[in-house]
């Protein structure tokens, strides 16, 4: 029972961490139709910035998160302008190649500046303590990640469904030429959406670093995980991504607890099973 409970907590927190990182990718893939395999590279950059801020500059955790998000978005803007803009609407293979190239570059450059070792992001005191829930105590960080996930999900839903920007974004995605004729500056909309996605990747990279530790191969190691989660959920769907992250997070965590020697076997078996049954992803839209 104790094991089942801790598995459940870990699975939920891990799923939420995955969700925060992946939802940005889901948006770029579903709304902007870009298969951005370099998504994890941006989460990694954020992790490095946060680690540097906390350990070398001595800032507190919250400031480090903000710095990481700002820094990552700052890095992503020129990349969007000069590289990504060339592959909007390009064949999938082209997008895959370009973004793998970006990933490789980020890995090489990161290692040049920060070295090949694993970087920790020390948690502030109140997050590293256990919290007593009455019947059981849980690591505060796990609860924090879950809360962050919930806030991100609700915030995005609000942004896309309820704000003027959300309307412009959906219009652009639906039909870019007509939106342009209506006076929507689609390039700007894409740039903002891309920045939001990068900011979320950065946020997830930092708060999820307990689950997905920051090291130079981060971008490559989890590239597949992120891509898989998004397509299982159905690119562009927030609830789909949430369900996929929670289900796959649960499968992965449970398998690691109970049958660690199988590694990712069950994770990928689940992926194949789900894609087999739902070729468009759990909540994917028909195109």
Partner 1 sequence: MQIEADTRSIPALPKHRGGAWRDVAGILLIAVAGAAGYFLFPDSLALLTRVTALAMLALSLDLVVGYCGVATLGQAALFGAGAYAAGIACVSGVTEPLSLLLIGAVAGAAAGLVMGGIMLRAHGLAQLVLSIAIVQLFHEAANKASSYTGGSDGLAGLTVGPLFGIFAFDLWGRTAYLLGVVILVAVFAALKFVVASPFGMMCRGIKEDPIRIRSMGAFVSPVLLKMFVISGAVAGTGGALAAISTQVVGLDSVSFELSANALVMLVLGGIGTLYGAIVGTIIFMAFEHVVSAINPFHWMTMVGALLIAVVIAAPRGLGGLVARLWTPSRHGERP
Nearer residue to partner 1 within complex by CB, 74 or 259 = 259
281 binds partner 1 (CB under 8 A): yes
98 binds partner 1 (CB under 8 A): yes
Q: Give least dist CB 151 to partner 1, A.
A: 28
- Residue 233 near residue 241 (C-beta atoms within 8 A): yes
Q: Tell which positions 138-167 bind partner 1, by CB under 8 A.
A: none
- Residue 226 near residue 22 (C-beta atoms within 8 A): yes
251 binds partner 1 (CB under 8 A): no
**CB burial string 1-14: b at 16+ within 10 A, e below:** eeeeebbebbbbbb
Nearer residue to partner 1 within complex by CB, 170 or 221 = 221
| Distance (Å, whole) CA 239 – CA 243 | 6
According to DSSP, residue 163 is labeled S
What is the residue whose two structure tokens read 């449970």?
Answer: 254
Q: Tell which positions 180-219 bind partner 1, by CB under 8 A.
A: 216
Element (H, E) at 131: strand 130-132
Q: Tell which positions 18-37 bind partner 1, by CB under 8 A.
A: 29, 35
Q: Which of 83, 79, 43 lies closest to 217 in space, CA to CA? A: 43
Q: Tell which positions 102-121 bind partner 1, by CB under 8 A.
A: 102-109, 111-112, 116
What distances in angstroms separate CA 242 from CA 33, 43, 231, one per listed residue? Answer: 19, 18, 12
Among 60, 94, 163, 175, binds partner 1 (CB under 8 A): 94
Among 160, 173, 228, 243, binds partner 1 (CB under 8 A): 228
248 binds partner 1 (CB under 8 A): no
**Of 48-56, 87-95, 120-128, 168-176, which part binds partner 1 (CB under 8 A)?**
87-95
243 binds partner 1 (CB under 8 A): no
- Residue 23 near residue 152 (C-beta atoms within 8 A): yes
89 binds partner 1 (CB under 8 A): no
Distance of CA 148 to the CA centre of its chain: 13
Distance of CA 8 to the CA centre of its chain: 21
**Of 98-106, 143-151, 193-201, 238-246, which part binds partner 1 (CB under 8 A)?**
98-106
135 binds partner 1 (CB under 8 A): no
Q: Helix 164-174 vs helix 186-207: angle between axes, to the nearest 10 degrees?
A: 110
User: In the complex, which residues of this chain contact partner 1 (CB under 8 A)?
Assistant: 29, 35, 83, 86-87, 92-94, 96-98, 100-109, 111-112, 116, 216, 220, 224, 227-228, 231-232, 235, 261-265, 268-269, 271-272, 275-276, 279-281
């Amino acid at each position: 029972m104790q094991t089942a409970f801790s598995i459940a907590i870990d699975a939920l927190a891990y799923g939420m961490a995955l969700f925060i990182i992946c939802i940005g990718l889901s948006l770029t893939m579903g709304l902007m139709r870009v298969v951005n395999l370099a998504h994890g590279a941006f989460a990694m950059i954020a992790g490095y910035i946060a680690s540097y801020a906390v350990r070398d500059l001595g800032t507190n955790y919250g400031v480090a998160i903000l710095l990481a998000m700002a820094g990552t978005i700052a890095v992503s803007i020129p990349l969007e302008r000069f590289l990504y803009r060339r592959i909007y609407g390009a064949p999938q293979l082209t997008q895959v190649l370009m973004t793998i190239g970006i990933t490789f570059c980020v890995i090489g450059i990161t290692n040049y500046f920060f070295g090949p070792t694993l970087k920790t992001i020390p948690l502030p005191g109140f997050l590293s303590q256990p919290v007593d829930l009455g019947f059981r105590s849980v690591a505060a960080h796990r609860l924090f990640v879950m809360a962050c996930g919930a806030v991100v999900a609700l915030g995005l839903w609000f942004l896309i469904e309820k704000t003027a920007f959300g309307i412009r974004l959906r219009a652009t995605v639906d039909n870019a030429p007509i939106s342009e004729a209506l006076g929507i500056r689609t390039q700007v909309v894409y740039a903002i959406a891309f920045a939001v996605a990068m900011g979320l990747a950065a946020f997830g990279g930092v708060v999820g670093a307990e689950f997905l530790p920051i090291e130079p191969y981060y971008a490559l190691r989890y590239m597949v995980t992120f891509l898989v989660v998004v397509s299982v959920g159905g690119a562009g769907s927030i609830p789909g991504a949430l369900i996929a992250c929670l289900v796959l997070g649960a499968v992965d965590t449970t398998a690691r607890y109970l049958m660690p020697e199988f590694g990712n076997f069950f994770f990928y078996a689940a992926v194949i099973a789900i894609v087999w049954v739902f070729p468009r992803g759990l909540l994917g839209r028909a195109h």
